[in-house]
Structure 1
Amino acid sequence: MKSRFLLILVYFIGWTVWLLLSRVLFLIYQPQTQQLDPSTILGVFANGLRMDLSTAGYLTILPALLIAISPGLFPKKISTTLRVITFVELIIVSSVTVADLEVFRAWGFHLDVTPLHFLKSPREAAASVAASPILSLVTLFIGMLLVGSYFFNRLIQQFVSQFEPVRWWIATPALLLAVVALILPIRGGFQLAPMNVSTVYFSPIAFANYAAVTPQWNFMQSCLEGNKYGTNPFAFFEKGQASKTLKSLYQPVAAHQPVISTIRPNVIVIVWESFTAKSVAALGGRTGITPQFEKLTHEGLFFNQFYASGDRSEKGLIALLSGFPAQATASIMTLPAKAEKLPTLGQQFKKAGYQTSFYYGGETEFANIKSYLFHNQFDRIVSKTDFRPSDWNSKWGAHDHIVYNRILSDLSKTKAPFFVSFFTLSSHEPFEVPMKTVITGSDEESLFLNSMYYADQSLGNFIAQAKKQPWWSNTLLIITADHGHRLPVLTSDRVRDFHIPMLWLGGALKATPRVIDQIGSQTDLASTLLRQLNLDASDFKWSRDLLNSQNRPFAYFAFNNGFGIVQPNRHLLFDNTSRQLISSGGTVHKEDIELGEAYEEESYQDFLNK
């Protein structure tokens, strides 16, 4: 019976070692590891060990049960069954390990259920990671399977060969005690609270805490808890207190200075994929990447303190078209039953007698965008199938300049006033563009910047042609982004990843071209725009008029289980798991954190109430 106990113990230790080696691989793969000194790296392993032990406990339960309840089986049958179970576990563990490497590199958080929401559109999901080194990752996955199988098969063979006949009524109860003992590492010890992500957080450096989290444990927990939308996990205040805290942000509507020459202009909203401020020199970004946009900033109202509400496209579209803030642990667009209760700009323009249309070169089924567009009541939705395959890139759909040309053609036959929204895609991974390379280099950053240059060139050509159209003189055109981007890497300050441009221009704009430095969010577009048109914006409760000088300068954004706040001369990023700041700039006060918590609590409750 001793050999059976030893097999359970060594099997558990084997998985622990395997997970430790996976953490080594994670640290090697992630560029942020360069930020960590040796003592912090040691802390990553020391604190992450508890979660490794918990994960190893889960992986050992089934094999341990088999050993405990089958003392009478022939060793060969036990060995074969254990090998099959272990191989299946290796497939799962290795898949998560390899996928997590690229998910964290691209999105900055560990693999959870988020990517699963996009599997209904597998081609677009594949395109999202097309810039990843797929061949290298697949090779790594196969290598892990081969090495893991060899290691565990040798381990199983060595101990099973030592099994001797035992009386089941003695062996099974004793071995079941060993199975029960696995509960201790699984829950993380004897403490009152069981294992959770915050258990392994130990450092003021956010990446060090993330590195201490075991991806397999995190993914499992996300699958178990990620789709439960019953209670508000961000209930930080006594009832009613969060709402009172937010009152300073939402003052009564005041008179404003009109910036357009008519209350019924045509409106075109261009949502530029990944249009980060880091690609615009006027916003402290790289020079020479968006020269056409740079020229246009001198022709209109340039909002230089504008921030994305979230970190993904579907969250950005919701913020822009519905004025609804992004959530840290949910995406309302992926839940059509909730999304259909949101107010939308499409509906408002439809009521006002506008011809409405939405253009996207890709497939609108991705992330439930299509159902949301129908909720907007767009008269016309133009997507991938409306373009020739010869005009598509290899992954997403029609190139930007192709869609711009289609818009110009359609608008020549469209009755005014019209409302058009165009969501671009050429600057999305894998950054394939139909032009001669301008930004040289095969690395990811160079490819991204080159795609931004193409997107800028396409925009410039569109504006040049639009100015020749009879409808231009009565048109307001708004250019902004769906979200920012982690590239190009300029600093380690993540708030810059959410800083995006917004520009208003067009023949209907009567205001003198100038820079507007009012801090605001994507959620504020709806109220700002509708008030200029004297349309009702009261349904957009989270939206504020950025052209109302009495508004308090403020922007909120959400990322994976955390939020950020931007205010004059200061900003912060707050992690919900550790309940601590992970980044800040300027002098941040307790009241600033409480304001962010109040916003998060109230907006998530609104999400639950939909």
Structure 2
Amino acid sequence: MDLSTAGYLTLLPALVLTVMPNLLPTKLALLLRSLLSAELFLVSFIAVADLEVFRTWGFHLDSTPLHFLKSPREAAASVASSPLLLLGTVFISLMVGGYSVFNQLLVGFLKQFKPVRWWIASPVLLVATAALIIPIRGGSQLAPMNVSTVYFSPVAFANYAAVTPQWNFIHSCLEQNKYGTNPYIFFPKGEANRTLQALYQPAGNSASLLTTDTPNILFIVWESFTAKSVAALGGRSGITPHFEKLSQEGLFFSQLYASGDRSEKGLIALLSGFPAQATASIMTLPTKAAKLPTLGQKLKTAGYQTSFYYGGETEFANIKSYLYHNRFDRIISKTDFPRNQWNSKWGAHDHVVYNRILSDLGSSSQPFFVTFFTLSSHEPFEVPMPAVFPGDDEESLFLNSLYYADRSLGEFVAQAKKQPWWSNTLIIITADHGHRLPKLSADRKQDFHIPMLWTGGALKAKPQLIDRIGSQTDLAATLLNQLKLNASEFRWSRDLLHPHNRPFAYFAFNNGFGVVQPNRHLIFDNISRQLISSSGTIDQKDLELGEAYEEESYQDFLDK
């Protein structure tokens, strides 16, 4: 992150050299001295301001203090309590020391050179300037530089210490500018919240379906696991035979819908019970994501040994910072597997990670909470097996990847049933999101329809089909209620097993939302302000319920 910051700061001086390589050394020194003095001021000021912000608020300087500039009197009052003399001394020391060192190095460096013909030097310097993209994006890896890249510890302070304040502040300003006010205000103040109360009325716990209040929990989040790949849910047959067999052994939720359309939104919905936003993703904003409740934290506090497995790069979309916020004791990712077990883009194949989980659980203390986020059914759909569905088109490749993921799951569960921990383990299998493939109909609702299955030795309930409509966000409350743990922090999550809960699901996509209720659904486009599809008898109250959900959930996102 230091190199990334330095890369950004080097861009302007590099461009000056590229454009004017034939400038006299004295004039070039003056120009660069002025430019880099301004940068030194910015770097020093942010470093000093960050010290006080972190001392006061416990997080790095970001765009939050800029909001106080709208109230200068209150801002001045806040600053007055700071150790201004000490901070000023540190700032001056940084400026004077930095300028002295820089001035000596710059002048000494430039004295070695004479003006150069621009048509010789400029092309070379242009290539060198373009090469700054490598340190700026943090290297040549798949995910560009983000806060997760430098997170390395379950101790929050250690992660904060690894973040470069200057990079964090500028990145925060660029990101926060996107999210100023709520664009989805449809009702007078307070009315949207009152409209939603009908969804959150039931109190009390649902009937216990487990043999114990502290089972081991193995949570499998299957990449792009669409209901369209499960014959029992109206999908194509022959794609996921092992899952379909397992669905007859446990609680099979047939009317579950993904909250969003991307992995990072699905993980947030599942682990924090927080709904997806139409034009934002809270995981990409670590300061906001850190304020969410999480299943990892909850179960860690309850005495669980926690771990997260993913064959890919956890730096992608700031996943790693969110995982540390979950307080996972151990995070296993791409670099923990040999390269010969990776596909060409994402990382370790599913069966490889399943084998690692089996190996690790043999010596793991109980109760454990293990989350596995699969990746083999993600584009480019590369799998280590011969094709079952012929063809090299995208749909055939996708179906083959689902078939492989299903086979890996089946083999894993077969081995898990032989382990001593099986009798006390609950396995939950669901998706991070649905998928547009395979194309079975024009009904976009089907793209968000996903399966969920609860199985394992800790399940005492008889196998049954649960057809109550619900959302990914409802998993948190449903699970915590079964564990006799308080789920009140998970504001947006509802117990799917509570008999009096109103069947309802909300999902968001790019600037639009969908609402699913018994015998009807609607999909609404925010830009055109009109329904783009629906089924059943839709009235104004159905639309208002969706608008109220969108307004309140986005406001909650802004308030984090």
Give TM-score, length-normalised by structure 1: 0.64
Residue of structure 2 in register with 1:538 after alignment: 488
Q: What is the SS of the residue equivalent to 1:545? A: coil
Shift of 1:265: 0.2
1:484 equivalent to 2:426? Answer no
- Asked if the contact 2:202–2:500 (Cα under 8 Å) also holds between the matched residues in 1, the reply is no
Q: Which letter maps to 2:519?
A: N
- Say whether the 8 Å CA contact 2:143–2:315 is kept in structure 1: no
Unaligned runs of 5+ in 2: 1-136, 145-172
* 8 Å CA contact 2:313, 2:347 repeated in 1: yes
Q: Which residue of structure 2 lines up, in the alignment, with residue 8 of structure 1?
A: none
CA contact (8 A) 2:202 2:501 kept: no
Paired position in structure 2 for 1:467: 417
Residue aligning to 1:578: 528
Instruction: Return the offset for 1:345.
Output: 0.2
Report how many aligned residue pairs link the two structures.
396
Aligned equivalent of 1:343, options 271, 280, 293: 293
> Pick from 375, 383, 388: which aligns with 2:338?
388
Q: Which runs of 5+ in 1 are unaligned?
A: 1-118, 127-222
* Residue pairs, 1:98-113, within 5 angstroms: none
TM-aligned CA deviation for residue 125 of structure 1: 6.1
Q: How does 1:554-593 map to 2 (within 5 A)?
A: 554-593=504-543
**Among residues 453, 464, 472, which one is paired with 1:514 in the alignment?**
464
* Distance in 1 (alpha carbons) for counterparts of 2:376 and 2:177: 32
Alpha-carbon displacement from aligned partner over 1:126-150 (angstroms, at most 9, x marks no partner): 9xxxxxxxxxxxxxxxxxxxxxxxx
Q: d(CA) in 1 for partners of 2:191 and 2:514? A: 20
* CA contact 1:327–1:558 (8 Å) conserved in 2: yes
Matched, 1:367 2:317: yes
1:261 pairs with one of 187, 202, 211: 211
1:432 aligns with 2:382: yes
1:306 alignment partner, SS class:
strand
Q: Are 2:260 and 1:310 equivalent residues in the alignment?
A: yes
Aligned equivalent of 2:158: none
* Aligned residue number for residue 417 of structure 1: 367
One-letter code aligned to 2:179: Y
SS state of the match for residue 396, structure 1?
A: coil
Please identify runs of 4+ aligned residues in structure 1 that moved more than 2 A.
Answer: 119-126, 223-228
List per-residue Cα deviations over 1:7-36 (Å, max 9, x = no partner).
Answer: xxxxxxxxxxxxxxxxxxxxxxxxxxxxxx
| Structure 2 residue aligned with 1:38 | none
Task: Look up the equivalent residue of 2:216 and give its one-letter code.
Answer: N
Match of 2:308 in 1: 358
Alpha-carbon deviations, 1:386-440, whole Å to 9, x = none?
Answer: 0000100010000000000000000000000000000000000000000111111
- 2:273 paired with 1:323: yes
> Does the CA contact (< 8 Å) of 1:123 and 1:395 recur in 2?
no
Shift in Å, 1:548: 0.1
For 1:25-44, list aligned pairs within 5 A. none
- Residue 253 of structure 2: SS of its match in structure 1? strand
Judge conservation of contact 2:523–2:532 (CA < 8 Å) in 1: yes
Tell me the SS of whatever aligns to 2:217: strand
Distance in 2 of aligned mates of 1:224 and 1:464: 49
CA deviation map 1:238-262 (0-9, x unaligned)? 0000000000000132341111110
What TM-score do the two structures reach when normalised by structure 2? 0.69
Confirm or deny: 8 A CA contact 1:120 1:366 kept in the other structure: no
Match of 2:233 in 1: 283
2:178 maps to which residue? 228
- 2:405 equivalent in structure 1: 455
SS at match of 1:324: coil
Matched residues in 2 for 1:317 and 1:340: separation? 14
Q: Distance in 2 between matches of 1:256 and 1:607?
A: 29
The equivalent residue for 1:23 is none
Amino acid at match of 2:400: N
**What is the correspondence of 1:15-26 to structure 2 with a 5 Å cutoff?**
none
Q: Secondary structure at the match of 1:408?
A: helix
- State the distance in 2 between where 1:562 and 1:495 align: 12
- Structure 2 residue matching 1:457: 3-state secondary structure: helix
Partners of 1:601 and 1:335 in 2: how far apart? 19
What letter matches 1:531 in structure 2? N
Tell me if structure 2 keeps the 8 A contact 1:121–1:365: no
Aligned counterparts of 1:530 and 1:262: Cα–Cα separation in 2: 13
Distance 1:120 1:463, change over 3 A: farther
**Aligned pair in 2 of structure 1 residues 540, 225: CA closer, same or farther (>3 Å)?**
closer
The one-letter code matched in structure 1 to 2:255 is: Q
2:328: which partner in 1? 378
Residue identity (%) = 76
Q: The residue matched to 1:369 in structure 2 has which SS? A: helix
1:121–1:366 CA contact under 8 A, matched in 2:
no
Amino acid corresponding to residue 401 of structure 2 in structure 1: S
- 8 Å contact 1:324–1:523 — kept in the other structure? yes
SS of equivalent to 1:556? strand
Q: For the residues of structure 2 that align with 1:507 and 1:440, how far apart are their CA atoms?
A: 37
* Distance (whole Å) between structure 2 residues aligned to residue 238 and residue 224 of structure 1: 31
Q: Aligned partners of 2:305, 2:174: CA distance in 1, in Å?
A: 45
1:606 aligns with 2:549: no
SS where residue 357 of structure 2 aligns? helix
- What letter is aligned with 1:495? K
* Structure 2 residue corresponding to 1:446, chosen from 381, 384, 396: 396
Three-state SS of the structure 1 residue aligned to 2:346 is coil
Distance 1:434 1:125 in 2: 24
Instruction: Decide which moves more: 227-236 or 346-355.
Output: 227-236
Deviations 1:342-391 (A, max 9, x none): 00000000000000000000000000000000000000000000000010
Task: Return the offset for 1:493.
Answer: 0.7
In structure 2, what is the Cα distance between the partners aligned to 1:556 and 1:464?
35
Verify the 8 A CA contact 1:308 1:521 in the aligned structure 2.
yes
Structure 2 CA distance for aligned equivalents of residues 318 and 120 of structure 1 = 25
Matched residues in 2 for 1:588 and 1:232: separation? 26
The alignment's C-alpha RMSD in Å is 1.5
User: Contact (CA 8 Å) 2:284, 2:318: kept in 1 or not?
Assistant: yes
Aligned partner letter, 1:533: L
Alignment of 1:500 with 2:460, yes or no, is no
- What is the CA distance between 1:466 and its match in structure 2? 0.3
The one-letter code matched in structure 1 to 2:414 is: A
Q: Is the 8 A contact 1:322 1:344 kept in 2?
A: yes
Task: Tell me, yes or no, if the aligned pair for 2:215 and 2:424 is still in contact at 8 Å.
Answer: yes
